[in-house]
Homo-oligomer: A and B are copies of this chain.
Amino acid sequence: MSLNLTPLGDRVVIKPAEEEEKTAGGIYLPETASKDKPFKGEVMAVGRGKLNDKGERQPLEVKVGDKVIYSKYAGTEIKVNEQKLLIVREEDILAIH
């Protein structure tokens, strides 16, 4: 899937994992009521990073294709070609798996 969407700053576009991927790699994310409940997904696009005090962009740690565990608490849902996607800040990504 080619994605025509460039997130700004330290934002990342994530495709949430399908049901069958939810235990892939032996990783299981418990159901909780917490607003910080973690989810699995794949990075579809990354921003150029935030500007530091020297006026340079700070490149992100994640790259397109990374499988990640993220919190969607502060994310924004959109739909591109019927696919649900999420725009989050890299801050909301906990780990790469």
Smallest Cβ-Cβ distance to A9: which chain B residue: B61
What is the minimal beta-carbon distance from A30 to any residue of chain B, in angstroms?
A: 6
Smallest Cβ-Cβ distance to A26: which chain B residue: B81
- A residues sitting closer than 8 Å to B (CB atoms) are 4-9, 11, 13, 25-30, 32, 36, 38, 45, 48, 51-56, 58, 61-62, 69, 71, 76-81, 87, 90-91, 93-97
Q: Which B residues touch A76, using CB under 8 A?
A: 36, 38, 71, 94
30 A–B contacts from the bound complex (CB under 8 Å): A4-B25, A4-B26, A4-B97, A5-B27, A5-B69, A6-B95, A7-B95, A8-B61, A8-B62, A8-B90, A8-B93, A8-B95, A8-B96, A9-B91, A11-B94, A11-B95, A27-B78, A28-B78, A30-B77, A38-B78, A45-B95, A48-B61, A51-B52, A52-B54, A52-B55, A53-B53, A69-B78, A69-B87, A87-B94, A87-B95
